[in-house]
Amino acid sequence: MKLSVITISDRASRGEYQDLSGPAIMELLRDSFPGADIRSVIVPDDADALLSAFTAHADADYILTTGGTGISPRDITPETTEKWCEKALPGIAELLRAKSYKETPNALFSRGYAGIRGRTIVVNFPGSVKAVRFCTGLLVPVMEHGVRMLRGEGHG
């Protein structure tokens, strides 16, 4: 499986802040999918930079993003993801919000999006380490099934 992690953060992209959420996702993915090809990149909260990162990672089975899903003026991840994707996967975003709400009511302010472009599934996670660990844990059990479905495997 090919997996990409994109961290969206102005401060981390400038080296002013150490990205902790991207590495947390990568650690969980390595543990869950030994031998997987896992790449990562950090981009600023900028739609053009994020669109370029999506295009550069379009060969991945999954692109998981962290950051930029809140309601601050610089949070552009969901809109940019929706613009890049061809189809929505609302069930993923709905589940992540619903389950996250049980952990913290602040999850109501997360606007994460999930969608598909070609054979790539894109899922937005919030930017905190706690949130990405929780959300990755929810997604991992269904990731291989999603890849099989996009490849047209398992349909009788």
- Joined tokens for residue 71: 């309601």
Strand partners, 39: 4
Give me the pLDDT at residue 62, please: 98
What's the CA gap between 53 and 71, in Å, rounded? Answer: 22
- Joined tokens for residue 107: 């999850």
pLDDT tens string 7-22: 999 999 999 999 999 9
Give me the pLDDT at residue 113, please: 98
| Domain regions of the chain by residue span | 2-150
- As a whole number, the mean pLDDT across the chain is 96
pTM for this entry = 0.96
Give me the pLDDT at residue 115, please: 98
Give me the pLDDT at residue 154, please: 66
- Answer for the pair 56, 39: CB distance below 8 angstroms, yes or no: no
Q: Find out if CATH 3.90.110.10 is the number for domain 2-150.
A: no
What's the CA gap between 44 and 63, in Å, rounded? Answer: 16
Residue 51 reports pLDDT greater than 90: yes
Give me the pLDDT at residue 155, please: 61
